[in-house]
Structures are given as structure tokens and as C-alpha cells.
Amino acid sequence: MRRWLPVVLNRRRFLGAGIIATAGATLAARETLGQSDTSQGTKNHDGDRLGSGNMSEMPGHATNHGTMMTVGDVDEVRNGFDTSKLLTDWDTGTISQLPDGRRLRTFEIDAIDKEIEIAPGVMFPAWTYNGRVPGPALRATEGERLRVIFRNYGSHPHSIHFHGIHSARMDGVPGAGVVGPGEEFIYEFDAEPFGCHLYHCHALPLKRHIHKGLYGLFIIDPDPGRHPENTDIARSRLLGTKENNQWQEFAMVMNAFDTNFDDENEVYAVNTVAHAYMKRPIPVRRDRPVRIYLANLVEFDPINSFHLHANFFNYFDHGTTLTPTQLTIDTVMQCQGQRGIIEFSFENHEPGLYMFHAHQSEFAELGWMSFFDVQEARA
């Protein structure tokens, strides 16, 4: 296990100095935010090389932002989760049938204490759901009965509070679903309403339990039969349908980490690892639309944002409508716990790297900056 750095790391030091891991895995407070220098180059999810270790061989905008990228790579094997796979790794649970004929969808979630690497050489003592931060992206269908088996293998009392509709007994707050170490609780409720929701621990102190990593996306797809006026749109959101398969869907949780516990974040990211999707841009096809399920779980900062370069998108606040709540925008703000669905297309764009990031510049420089790698349709 790596030791914590002997220096106090606040966000100003991260911007001015930072951290790198040396060959012997010894940590030194040097330049965190510098140009990556790897001989193997950056690859996309399919293993296609996007550029050599020399940033000058990458497109100009990538080169210009290279000095804002963390040095080195995070050991995702040791972390136990791959940030590329987190984008599309939907947990659909197991399905059975209730005596009344209704569908029952069951999820199993374990609280586990685990040290994770959030930037090269920067370790964080996380509290996790199922060993990952964010926790699994749960996905169900409107109207189903949901059963969530929660086991606490951590060292503190924990719970799961779902943003949705349920009884007081299932609320996951003290006195209603908070369980001690070694204990188990079963949450059960109907999947209502459809939309882009979230879940998180609601044990006290609340800010510590959320900040340490106990949160995740909770997606309820609309049942097309309940929305005859927008059946095609509803079907496009229902996982596994022909209409849904035309979309490129991604799960993105904006998060941040206070590495020295001074109530200020030093590392920002989408899906935990700083600059993960800058070093490995997300490949998307020009001929298929993009849908992002976005949530903000950053503690200590009241507002976060998502900004898309060279394009505009439609936004569905909370995802609880089938028509956009905001049309043709390129930036959206979210407070903590706010979430929504973003839809756009690169159909009229040339292939290349298109940036997206927080429009709080400090957040971007500290890790919340990414690229889409727009590619031609495959034959």
C-alpha cells in the first residue's frame, strides 16, 4: 500500500506543482499537470492508436492542452474497474416473476472499504459500492418491482438512499435502512418515475459518506406502453430495443476528491480518474446519436457543469420527460445531486477529437477534461 504524500496537497498546489509517480512507485510532489510522455501512445477503446507519446503528433488542440494533463497512468487493474468500461457497464440485475405476474428485478450491492488511485500516484481511501467509484449504474424499467440486497462489509454504518418514489421504511436514512458493519438490509419498491436518477449513502455525517465514494447512477427506462403519445422516443430509451441500439449511450458521474480532508477538492473527474478520457478519448461514430446520463456528485463545491465543444445538445433535466427541458445549448450546470440526460449528434462534423469538460476552469485543469474521438461509420 502506498503512503500518503508527506506534503499538504491543496488545490492550489495541485495547479502549481502536483504529483507524479516515479519508476519505483515513489511519490514526489512535482508536476501533476504536465505533458504525458509515453512511448506507446494513446489508444481508444478498440485499441486504435490516437497518437504517439509525442504530443506534437496529435491534433493541435490536443497538443495545446497537453500541459494540463496528469503525468503517467493509473493502475486500473489494481483499482478493479476500467474507466472505459464504466461508460457502458449497465447493471441490469437478475429478473424473476412475482406471484401476481409482475416482473421483479433484483440487484445486489456491497459496501466495501477500498483504496483506489484517482490520478497517477494519488491514492484515496474510498468507501465503495461493489468495489468501484462510482457504484454500479443500475438500470431498470418503469413499473417493475425492484429488490436491492445491500450488505455492509465496510467499517462504518452505511445505507442506500434512492432518488425515486418509495415508502419511508425504504428511504435509507437513519432509522430506516442504515445498517452497521456486517449487517444486511433489503430495499424493495416500484421503479417510479422513469428518468435519470441516483443513489447514495445517507448515513451521518452525510458529506463524508458521499464524498468518500458511496454513490451511483440509477436509471429507470420508460415503459413505451405507458407513453402512447411518445412511443418511439420511449422505445429509444428502453435498453435492448432496436430503437435504443441506434444510440451510443454513456454513463457519466462528475465527482471529485478531497485528498487531505480540508473540505476542498484537489482532484476532479468524470467517473473518478482524472483526465481518463483525455488520455483515452471516447470513440463515437458520426452516424449514430449520442446520449449521456449525467449526474453531479461533487461534494464541497456547490455547482458543477458540462460543456461540449463545437456542438450543441438537448437537455432533459432529471430525465423525467420525453421532450427536452432545454433546447440547443452547449453548457449545463448541475448542483450536487442534480442529474439529467444529454442528447446530440456529430453527424455533420468531420472526424477528430472534440473536447468536453467542466466550464469551471479550475475543475478542468484538475482533471475534469475529456475528448470524444469522432470516427467515420464502419462498413
- The residue type of 218 is F
Instruction: Quick: pLDDT tens for 152-187.
Output: 999 999 999 999 999 999 999 999 999 999 999 999
> In which element (H, E) is residue 105 found?
strand 103-119
* CA distances from residue 75 to 5, 72, 254, 273 in whole angstroms, order as listed: 18, 10, 20, 10
Exposed/middle/buried for residue 162 (C-beta within 10 Å: 0-12, 13-18, 19+): buried
User: CB 10: neighbour CB atoms within 10 A?
Assistant: 15
CA angle, residues 259, 303, 357, in degrees to nearest 5: 80
C-alpha cell at 158: 452505511
Residue among 356, 357, 238, 354 nearest 285 (CA): 354
C-alpha cell at 24: 519505483
Indicate the pLDDT class of residue 68, thresholds 50, 70 and 90. confident
Instruction: Quick: pLDDT tens for 297-314.
Output: 999 999 999 999 999 999
C-alpha cell at 168: 419511508
Which residues fall in the annotated binding site? 158, 163, 200-201, 209, 359
Instruction: Quick: pLDDT tens for 74-125.
Output: 999 999 999 999 999 999 999 999 999 999 999 999 999 999 999 999 999 9
Dihedral pair phi/psi, residue 241, rounded to 5°: -80, 165
Instruction: Quick: pLDDT tens for 6-24.
Output: 445 565 455 544 433 322 3
Lowest-confidence segment of 16-30, 52-66, 136-150, 240-254 by average pLDDT: 16-30
Dihedral pair phi/psi, residue 230, rounded to 5°: -140, 45
Q: Specify the pairing of strand 27-28 against strand 94-97.
A: unpaired
Which residues fall in the annotated binding site for Cu cation? 158, 163, 200-201, 209, 359
CB 370 within 8 A of CB 364: no
Radius of gyration of the chain, Cα coordinates, nearest whole angstrom: 21
Domain positions in the chain:
83-243
CB 45 within 8 A of CB 280: yes
Q: Which CATH number, 3.90.1150.10, 3.40.50.720, 3.40.50.300, 2.60.40.420, labels domain 83-243?
A: 2.60.40.420
C-alpha cell at 204: 451521518
User: CB 181: neighbour CB atoms within 10 A?
Assistant: 13
* Mean pLDDT (whole number) for 142-157: 98
CB 344 within 8 A of CB 313: yes
Q: Please give the distance of CA 237 from its chain centroid, rounded to a whole number.
A: 19
